[in-house]
């Protein structure tokens, strides 16, 4: 087993060749300056999509519940009703509308639920046809 002396000038040259040049470091920094903002924006969009999807599921459940309650309860043709339902910290605004359907003696009933997600309002609409004779 042989040991090389610590003062060998060849090892300093090898270390200098193994280091990064200024151009390589600048290229890596420029690449990171491009990639990091794109990655952060991708995470923001994914977060928004997740939040909107989760709240959309709740809004669809609320719309179905309001529509079912309207069909079972009072069914006034041509009227619009509205309200607010609190789910956790989020307020879901709903409105329901009944109008005559042009194709048959039925009414088109539409529930619209509006919910906020990251500073914007989104909505879900649920519609069904109801026999006009049962709504009077």
* Nearest to 65, CA basis, from 92, 43, 88, 90: 92
Whether 66 is covered by a domain: the verdict is yes
- Residues 95-131: pLDDT tens digits? 999 888 887 788 889 999 999 988 899 999 999 988 8
Domain limits for position 35: 9-134
Whether 33 is covered by a domain: the verdict is yes
pTM above 0.85, yes or no: no
DSSP string covering 93-121: EEEEEEEE-SSSSEEEEEEEEEEEETTEE
Residue 47 reports pLDDT greater than 80: yes
pLDDT of residue 114: 97
- Residues 52-100: pLDDT tens digits? 999 999 999 999 999 998 888 765 555 568 999 999 899 999 999 988 8
Whether 14 is covered by a domain: the verdict is yes
Torsion, Cα 77 63 124 52, to 10 degrees, reads: 160
Whether 3 is covered by a domain: the verdict is no
Please report, for the domain that includes residue 111, its CATH number.
3.30.1300.30
Total domains in the chain come to 1
Whether 2 is covered by a domain: the verdict is no
Whether 1 is covered by a domain: the verdict is no
Whether 19 is covered by a domain: the verdict is yes
Whether 69 is covered by a domain: the verdict is yes
């Amino acid at each position: 087993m042989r040991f090389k002396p610590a003062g060998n000038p060849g090892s300093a040259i090898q270390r200098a060749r193994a280091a990064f040049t200024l151009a390589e470091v600048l290229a890596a920094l420029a690449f990171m300056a491009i990639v990091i903002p794109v990655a952060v924006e991708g995470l923001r969009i994914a977060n928004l999509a997740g939040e909107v999807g989760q709240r959309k599921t709740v809004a669809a459940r609320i719309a179905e519940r309001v529509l079912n309650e309207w069909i079972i309860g009072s069914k006034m043709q041509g009227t619009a009703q509205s309200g607010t339902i609190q789910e956790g910290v989020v307020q879901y605004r709903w409105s329901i509308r009944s109008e005559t359907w042009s194709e048959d003696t039925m009414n088109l009933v539409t529930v619209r639920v509006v919910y906020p997600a990251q500073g914007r309002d989104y909505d879900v609409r649920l519609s069904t046809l109801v026999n006009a004779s049962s709504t009077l």
